[in-house]
Amino acid sequence: MSIGEYLQNADWKSEKHAPVIECPDMVAADEEFLVSLEIGKEIPHPNTTEHHIEWIEVYFKPESDKFPHLVGKFGFSGHGESIKGANEGPLHTEPKVQVALKVKESGTLMAMSYCNIHGLWESSKDIKVG
């Protein structure tokens, strides 16, 4: 058994669980750029005590390396929990983050997210250094 067997992939425009990676297609070497990560861009994902995104991870795999490098892991902990009951709490976090990167060479950004009901989802985006 491999964890890869459980990674699901779909077009984020038609699937609310697929991570959306937004950043420039072309960047300059060693120059900072922003990467936005979001779940539910076209089709909103519920953010309830019962059904929510727990985290998003993002990796960068340079063309010349064998393995990807972890950029960051972002957790979302506010899902409306409360002693009053489910979804009665004062806090809901949305599964959206931005991170600033610098890369030396072209490669692929890969994002993975986890829904507490629908499991692991992945997506990727190529970045060229020019």
Catalytic residues: 15-17, 45, 51, 115, 118
Q: State the first-to-last Cα distance of the chain, in angstroms, to the nearest integer.
A: 40
Is residue 105 within 8 Å of 115, Cβ to Cβ? no
Q: What angle do CA 52, 46, 18 make, to 5 degrees?
A: 75
Q: At 14, phi and psi to the nearest 5?
A: -120, 0
Tell me the C-alpha distance between 92 and 106, whole Å: 36
